[in-house]
Structure 1
Amino acid sequence: MTGEPTRSPGPVPRLLVGAATVEVEVPPGTPMAGFAARQDPSRGVHDPTTVRALVLDDVALVSVDVCALHEDTCAQVRARLADVVPTCVVAATHTHSGPCVGRGRVGRHAAAVHDDVVAAAERAVRHAHAKRRACAVEYTEVRSPGVGANRRHPGRSVDLRLQALCFRDPADGRVVSRLVVYPCHPVVLDAANLLVSADYPGQVRTVLEAGDPGSVTMFLTGAAGDINTGHRAEDSYRASGTGLRTYAEAERVGAVLADALGGAARHLVGGEVQATAVTEEVDLPLLPVDREQVRRDLARWTTDLGEADADRAALLGVWASWARGVLDGGVPERATWRARVTAVRLGEVALVALPGEPFLASGEQVRAASSAPVIVLGYSDGCPGYLPPREEYAHGGYEVDDAHRYYDMPAPFAPGAAEQLVAVACRLVGADDGR
């Protein structure tokens, strides 16, 4: 990054910081996640699948280059690390070109790669924890860096925040690690892509790490449920591509964000910076399961399969499989899903980790709960699908009506579920902020 940081009064703070990266081998033929109509497995690797760990005092953040992680997988990682860190947040970057390790969500499960991901997470955290050293903390925020649009309401303007924490060794000025968060779907590459890729977050990391050799950059996706780079969510219904969503475009988008951070002012986080964390769980309601409607839908989809083209047939096959699972699996009429929310305080800055796919408005509500900077992460500690704000249900669409089938959930989340999640997050942030 360029320029000297704006300094807060008082001594230069110290935070014990360690970071590590572990690559996971993804062999050709591995199922990929992110597009319901994409049935073909991977044909190779464009860039490695990585598991990255950032340990701040005794709080660990883990990022995995996959579309979604099941909450049971995240719990498995936490259990394996309980002797090292009392708090561990495990998040998917949400690339739509990664291996499928969601235990039945967002595609066919790749069990061997899943187990390698869990093992890699443990190795990365243990390594990062062992090599922690005292660092100063710098905060950077860039407003509307020129990437991202509301895919549900194309005419609606959005004010997106690119946020970063830089952890620097004050003894020699070298960057130990960065945490970069941006609320935009990593879905530049479309369903025609059959090479494993981190999408644009991979390029963000590559550019920033090249500028600071030896450093580790972690990218996490913010509240991006309704934000992407400018196409409809329903494009996931097609396995064929447009030819516009290419590796070159993913690299361009990543470079734009990395360059925006490089030219932005930095603020040195003041005071006694220690990582403290608090976690709360809440049961979020799903809509009631209407089995008769599911039976009617299954009959209709089965009939439509006979005249469907290849893309439509692949999608209907996913939906039909979901319907049979609901009808045969003894799903309760009314179900809930237990969400895990974690707030991490780093001096005057807070990180808030939300599960699932929260919308941008939800992230902004959490950010407004504190007078100090708040960085909101999505896709953390489990991803069961979209959490639309109440007002979005009237607009319908993929995120409201259809996505739960690809996520293998019995029904969409009920109106008000997002608001319950936001209320917990705001309480955690506001209480720590003294409000």
Structure 2
Amino acid sequence: MDCPEAPQALNSPLRSFFCSTLFALLVSPAPAAAVEATWRAGAASVGVTPQKSTWMAGFGARNKPSEGTAQELFAKALVLDDGAGHRLVIVTLDLIGLPRTLRKNLEQRAQAAWRLPPEFLLLNASHTHSGPEYSIGKVPADDMDLKVLAESEEYGAKLEETLFQLIGTALSKVEPASLSYSHARAGFAMNRRLPTKTGYRNSPNPDGVVDHDVPVLRVAGADGKLRAVLFGYACHNTTLPLYQFSGDYAGYAQDFLQAGNAGAVALFLNGFSGDQNPYPRGTVELARQHGRTLATAVEAAMAANPKPLDEPLSAAFAEIALPFAPAPTREELQKVIATKDTRQAKRAGRLLAEIDRKGRLAADYPYPVQVIRFGKQITLVALGGEVVVDFSLRLKKELAGPMVWTAGYCNDVMAYIPSRRVLEEGGYEGREASLASSILPGPWDTSVEELIVAKVHDLNRKAAPAGSPSGSR
């Protein structure tokens, strides 16, 4: 190689080194550029309000079916395609929960119809207590339970087809988009585990732990206008104890956001709100007030220094065997049946019948854990059940990245998911709720927190983008 650019003052060895270095720089390949997302997005919405009076979900004190509709219930779908071969579908529901069977059926159908990998499908329930009873898998205790179960199965069969068509509609609307993210805060959620001399009571506890973060993902069209907004909050969706269907505060928040942005679809992801309630509560006016507060926080997040989202998608999904505490014996169940506690006696009878059918009670439950990464920018942790806020605070400390977004009520809602602290303290989320379940044999084992957190870290590593050694702090 002739090297006329080398300074002539250099002696021969230095001149040779200069020339060889220049040659290496000229012929060496440039470092690979980081893959950037070229976003395309689509969103759709469909009503899922029952067309007839049905029994409602959530509050055991209700003693009659629904009496009309205060606010329509919706299912919504958001499709995000990063242009690098990854496509994410998020489905949100104005319902108290969703069963594992719904997740599995939609997962199989979406994979067959659109080649959507299971890890790129996320289902979330808002946990409104003003929707229809939808509890596939419960064991009926009497003729009334049989009637409610029949209604649930009829509604669920229609819902599955509705959601499948909804996903297809959202996919058909995919168009170029730009994404940005930010967060704000809302303060109406309060811890509801109040310590007393006799244990933990389900009452407002202003000194208890909370997570007031409001994560927001904004989706704009090529013209810059809002096409969709995905937002979250950790609070039970339980302002209303009425007999009318309603999406509660989460439904009103979505309505406010859509009313101010014609044509946009607003989607709500409930967070780790197992031990969080809205306060004050009890009226439609308060539900609207909390909805307006949350919508204002979302608007603030979209206006306050939003960051462009330009890194591609990755995801991982698994079910882990989440263990129950040692199950009651046949003798212990027979003693419960002999007591005057009618509710527990019925439950004990159901558990005895299960032992007769299967030979034993279940030792564990297939629990869903999902991690979705937007490169190194957003880590979305989606867990099943009613997860208490301890998990959110812990994972936000342990996982790396500008935004760690936690969502509960995802992919299967089977029970409360208490931390070890809550399990040991007892109370409603720790033990009492599990003793009212007709699906589960009893409380969880104290190991569940560590098992879940370990699986989150494992999936986070699997979904970590190149150049991120672990995705954890």
If the length of structure 1 is used for normalisation, what is the TM-score?
A: 0.85
1:325-364 → structure 2 map (5 Å cutoff)? 325-330=350-355, 332-333=360-361, 335-347=363-375, 348-364=377-393
Q: 1:252 to 1:407 in 2, by over 3 A?
A: farther
Contact 1:138-1:268 within 8 A present in 2 as well: yes
Structure 1 SS opposite 2:338: helix
Contact 2:351-2:361 within 8 A present in 1 as well: no
Contact 1:276-1:344 within 8 A present in 2 as well: yes
Q: 1:175 to 1:390 in 2, by over 3 A?
A: same
Report the equivalent of 1:277. 315
1:380-391 → structure 2 map (5 Å cutoff)? 380-391=410-421
1:14 equivalent in alignment to 2:38: yes
Query: C-alpha distance in 2, partners of 1:90/1:102?
Result: 16
1:141 equivalent in alignment to 2:183: yes
1:323 equivalent in alignment to 2:348: yes
Amino acid at match of 1:255: R
Structure 2 SS opposite 1:277: strand
Bigger Cα Rg: 2
Report the equivalent of 2:219. 167
Any unmatched runs of 5+ in structure 2? 1-33, 82-86, 140-144, 195-204
Contact 2:99-2:413 within 8 A present in 1 as well: yes
Amino acid at match of 2:371: A
Query: C-alpha distance in 2, partners of 1:266/1:112?
Result: 46
Structure 2 SS opposite 1:184: coil
Query: C-alpha distance in 2, partners of 1:434/1:406?
Result: 42
More off after superposition, 39-48 vs 349-358: 39-48
Report the equivalent of 1:180. 231
1:373 equivalent in alignment to 2:403: yes
Once the two structures are aligned, what percentage of the paired residues are identical? Answer: 29
Q: What is the CA-CA distance between 1:12 and the residue it aligns to? A: 9.1
Structure 1 SS opposite 2:193: coil
1:356-435 → structure 2 map (5 Å cutoff)? 356-368=385-397, 369-404=399-434, 405-406=436-437, 408-430=439-461, 432=464, 433-435=468-470
Q: What is the CA-CA distance between 1:267 and the residue it aligns to? A: 2.0
Amino acid at match of 1:19: A
1:36 equivalent in alignment to 2:67: no
Contact 1:149-1:158 within 8 A present in 2 as well: yes
Report the equivalent of 1:124. 166
Structure 1 SS opposite 2:348: helix
Contact 2:43-2:174 within 8 A present in 1 as well: yes
Query: C-alpha distance in 2, partners of 1:266/1:95?
Result: 31
1:137-177 residue CA offsets vs partner (Å, 9 max, x unmatched) = 1112113x2111110141225342111101111x2111111
Q: What is the CA-CA distance between 1:215 and the residue it aligns to? A: 0.8
Amino acid at match of 1:34: G
Report the equivalent of 2:298. 261
Q: 1:400 to 1:141 in 2, by over 3 A?
A: same
Report the equivalent of 1:205. 254
Contact 1:152-1:226 within 8 A present in 2 as well: yes
Q: What is the CA-CA distance between 1:102 and the residue it aligns to? A: 1.9
1:15-62 residue CA offsets vs partner (Å, 9 max, x unmatched) = 221111111241343121112232322122221221111111221111
Structure 1 SS opposite 2:168: helix
Contact 1:287-1:334 within 8 A present in 2 as well: no
1:188-203 → structure 2 map (5 Å cutoff)? 188-190=239-241, 193-203=242-252
Q: Say how many residue pairs are matched.
A: 395
Report the equivalent of 1:91. 124
Contact 2:272-2:389 within 8 A present in 1 as well: yes
Q: What is the CA-CA distance between 1:374 and the residue it aligns to? A: 1.4
Contact 2:362-2:441 within 8 A present in 1 as well: no
Q: 1:66 to 1:322 in 2, by over 3 A?
A: farther
The higher-RCO structure (CA 8 Å, 6+ apart) is 1
Query: C-alpha distance in 2, partners of 1:356/1:408?
Result: 13
Any unmatched runs of 5+ in structure 1? 1-9, 232-243, 306-315
Structure 2 SS opposite 1:158: coil
Q: What is the CA-CA distance between 1:393 and the residue it aligns to? A: 2.1
Report the equivalent of 2:135. 102
Report the equivalent of 1:240. none
Q: What is the CA-CA distance between 1:263 and the residue it aligns to? A: 2.3
Amino acid at match of 2:367: A
Contact 1:51-1:117 within 8 A present in 2 as well: no
1:227 equivalent in alignment to 2:276: yes
If the length of structure 2 is used for normalisation, what is the TM-score?
A: 0.79
Amino acid at match of 1:219: F
Report the equivalent of 1:71. 100
Query: C-alpha distance in 2, partners of 1:61/1:105?
Result: 26
Q: What is the CA-CA distance between 1:419 and the residue it aligns to? A: 2.3
Report the equivalent of 1:295. 334
Query: C-alpha distance in 2, partners of 1:396/1:278?
Result: 32
Contact 2:182-2:307 within 8 A present in 1 as well: no
1:293-345 residue CA offsets vs partner (Å, 9 max, x unmatched) = 33333332xx355xxxxxxxxxx3xx444322111112634511111211111
Two-structure CA RMSD over aligned residues (Å)? 2.2
Amino acid at match of 1:194: Y
Structure 2 SS opposite 1:196: coil
Structure 1 SS opposite 2:231: strand
Query: C-alpha distance in 2, partners of 1:46/1:159?
Result: 29
Query: C-alpha distance in 2, partners of 1:215/1:11?
Result: 29
Contact 1:358-1:418 within 8 A present in 2 as well: no
1:335-392 residue CA offsets vs partner (Å, 9 max, x unmatched) = 1111121111123112121001111110222223123311111011111111111111
Structure 2 SS opposite 1:181: strand
Query: C-alpha distance in 2, partners of 1:38/1:367?
Result: 37
Query: C-alpha distance in 1, partners of 2:386/2:309?
Result: 32
